[in-house]
Structure 1
């Protein structure tokens, strides 16, 4: 599926991992989810991530109501000197892609967008929740930095709830002022929204295909993804 572009994960300030479920015999999972090292994942081919989502087959027609929603979010970020990544805007405002990850998810994950939330570990940076597991086992966020750098992180914490609970004087799960505790609760998982969406889409479709006992014959990228795990086995 192509070579992975060299990326210095240590530069982002978070531990890196991919939080997902099993891929049948190809990748084990002890529970509903497990964290896998980013380095162990099959490369997707960075040339595919142009913002056009060609690997998905096109984004479809614009959804005017979603444009209004994203424009509102973008305006709040602009006031903080931050910008939504264009690949995220494109995905969330077009008919073919919007909610497509919900539809393919095998663990009931769903699109759920938050307002901008202050990063608990970095002044000026912001979290925007966009996707969550149905039981909140894992929640995914855009992480936006004043430098213009944007990537995807996940956590077991719903920071919108945590901030609102603290404001209302209610009990919270975590000490939001403890920077080390918060840094340990946030994991980097993709250098761009499009890579996150692509990997999630591939893996969840693979899970269904493996469960059905047959890979779609035209889906070369699914077979290539599994080949990575076959070739990574000891003695392969």
Structure 2
């Protein structure tokens, strides 16, 4: 278990021969991932280039979400707000995803394992193989988790009296379904963006054309003495 009470792992696809994947996705031990420089995660997303303009419809939607969370004594992280409301950032993960993941922000969803904590879905695989959420605690702690469960659907199904394949009232089952994957939203976004950029380059006509930061990341997986 991680220090936040959930198992930790990174759910992603392959990085060519450097990190294999048996199916569309694989769970990789978080400790096995390349280290990243957390000092670059200032909430400005400068690693994605210049900022864009605020998107009015997104500002309205995120302000509504923030107000809903405030009423529950929870606060949206500033990096998430910036990303979701900026014209150059909002679809950056959708655009780079090689498995057709797409942005889909939910309303606050109660944590099935921790009273007072809530989930906010922000990204999902096109076939819902994996769904990513912010996990918000009343203490102010916020991190990113992943799950194979769409909790919005699960709660709607229970409200409508429909049966599903999971028991929201079973804390052990639900804790096993939620996996910690990043300490902040921006760090998640960076790792997701880098890995998908690497995959695209490795599968392009010029697989040797990795930019330095992508090459440095991939070097973590290269066999000793063999450069990427």
What is the TM-score of this pair, normalised by structure 2?
0.96
**Is 2:37 the partner of 1:45?**
yes
| 1:206-225 deviations in Å (ceiling 9; x for gaps) | 000000142445x2110001
- Residues 69-113 of structure 1: CA distance to partner in whole angstroms, max 9, x if unpaired? 100000000000000000000000001110110011000100011
CA distance in structure 2 between the partners assigned to 1:58 and 1:11 by the alignment: 35
Provide the rounded CA distance (Å) in 2 between the counterparts of 1:69 and 1:10: 32
Q: How far did 1:63 drift?
A: 1.0
Equivalents in 2 of 1:42, 1:231: separation in Å?
Answer: 14
Asked if the contact 1:82–1:145 (Cα under 8 Å) also holds between the matched residues in 2, the reply is yes
Aligned to 1:142: 134
Structure 1 gap segments, 5+ residues each: 1-8
Aligned to 1:214: 207
Q: Residue 172 of structure 1 is aligned with which of 164, 171, 176?
A: 164
Instruction: Tell me if structure 1 keeps the 8 A contact 2:2–2:180.
Output: no
Which runs of structure 1 show a deviation greater than 4 angstroms over 4 or more consecutive aligned residues? none
Task: Output the TM-score relative to the length of structure 1.
Answer: 0.92
C-alpha contact 1:59 1:91 (8 A) present in aligned 2: no
Q: Which runs of 5+ in 2 are unaligned?
A: none
| Residues paired across the two proteins, number | 225
CA 1:79–1:221 in structure 2 vs 1: closer, same or farther (change >3 Å)? same
Q: Is the 8 A contact 2:145 2:182 kept in 1?
A: yes
Are 2:87 and 1:95 equivalent residues in the alignment?
A: yes
Say whether residues 1:13 and 2:5 are aligned partners.
yes
Query: Is residue 189 from structure 1 mapped to residue 178 from structure 2 by the alignment?
Result: no
Q: List per-residue Cα deviations over 1:169-209 (Å, max 9, x = no partner).
A: 01112000000000000000000000000000000010000
